[in-house]
Structure 1
Amino acid sequence: MQKLFFEIQIDAPPEKVWDVLWSDMTYRQWTTAFTEGSFYQGTFEEGNIVKFLDPNNDGMFSRVEKSIPNKEIKFLHLGEIYGGVEKEQNWGDATEAYFLQETETGTLLKIEINTPDEFKSFFEEKFPNALGIVKNLSENQL
């Protein structure tokens, strides 16, 4: 397992950044940094299963481990979805957590990812671009 950390200062309040991260329309925009056409199915209450999908309905499914709106959300990644079939994976503690910390000028968005080794370079390449899109949307969208 690899532990990765990303952060970005955003000149917008935490409520706005949270909305950009998890509202359907803006989620679809910032996640183009990973896969064009990404979307999710489910809701972000603790204990719920959320499916993160591409336009072919392939992707992964995760359980919401913690959810404090406008402050923190943590997912435990459970497995992959291919051809509509969910297959659990033995990823152990593969987690993805988002922390929104209010600052004098807006929000410090921090992401902590615990990932299997084979996904490390993917996240290192894609996450900085994704965060740049989140920042742009948060600061420039009404």
Structure 2
Amino acid sequence: MKKMYYQITIDSPIAHVFKTMLAKETYKQWTAAFNPTSDFEGSWEKGSKIYFTGVNKEGEKEGMIAEIAEHIPNKYVSIRHYGILDKGKEVTAGPAVEAWAGSLENYTFNDLNGQTLLMIDVDTNEEYIDYFDEAWPQALKKLKDICEAN
């Protein structure tokens, strides 16, 4: 497992960036860089189960199952992934999840005199490094555009 790092400075206050990043409609907009049908089901509250979903080429729902390991409003969110959705069914054990179960995705928000420095660190497998290096910067640019437009 390799830890990847991404960051962006957004010309908007932390509270606005935090809310925009996690709100249902705007979440779907900025995460479209990963999957055009990207969505989530569940809560961002600490200890909550959350599904990160999308629709595959066959029209079936798939995605990741995770727990919100930490949620400190306007400061930090940590997501611990532990399973997948395969054709709408939960899979939490076996070869499909063993390679990355327990991986973390962390969001840290820092104030830069009214601007927000958003830092992401995410655990990934070698096979996703190129994909993340392409998708994360696109997603963060979209989030920046949404935040700065509103």
TM range (shorter): over 0.9
Structure 1's consecutive aligned runs of 4 or more residues displaced over 4 angstroms after TM superposition are none
The answer for the alignment partner of 2:103 in structure 1 is 94
The question of whether the paired residues in 1 share the 8 Å contact of 2:5 and 2:119 is answered with yes
Give the count of matched residue pairs.
141
Structure 2 CA distance for aligned equivalents of residues 73 and 131 of structure 1: 16
- Aligned letter for 1:122? Y
Q: What percentage of residue pairs aligned between the two structures are identical?
A: 32
TM-score (norm 1): 0.95
- Write the distance in 2 (CA, Å) between the matches of 1:24 and 1:125: 23
Look up the SS of the partner of 1:130 in the other structure: helix
Deviation at 1:46?
A: 1.1
**Shift of the alpha carbon at 1:126?**
0.3
Contact 1:94–1:116 under 8 Å retained in 2? no
The alignment's TM-score, normalised by the length of structure 2, stands at 0.90
Instruction: Return 83-92 or 23-32, whichever deviates more.
Output: 83-92
Are 1:117 and 2:126 counterparts?
yes
1:10/1:106 contact within 8 Å kept = yes
Offset, 1:50: 0.4
Cα deviation code 1:25-50 (max 9, x no counterpart): 10010011010021100001111110
Task: String of CA shifts for 1:97-138, please: whole Å, max 9, x gaps.
Answer: 001101114100000011122222211110000000010001
Aligned to 2:32: 32
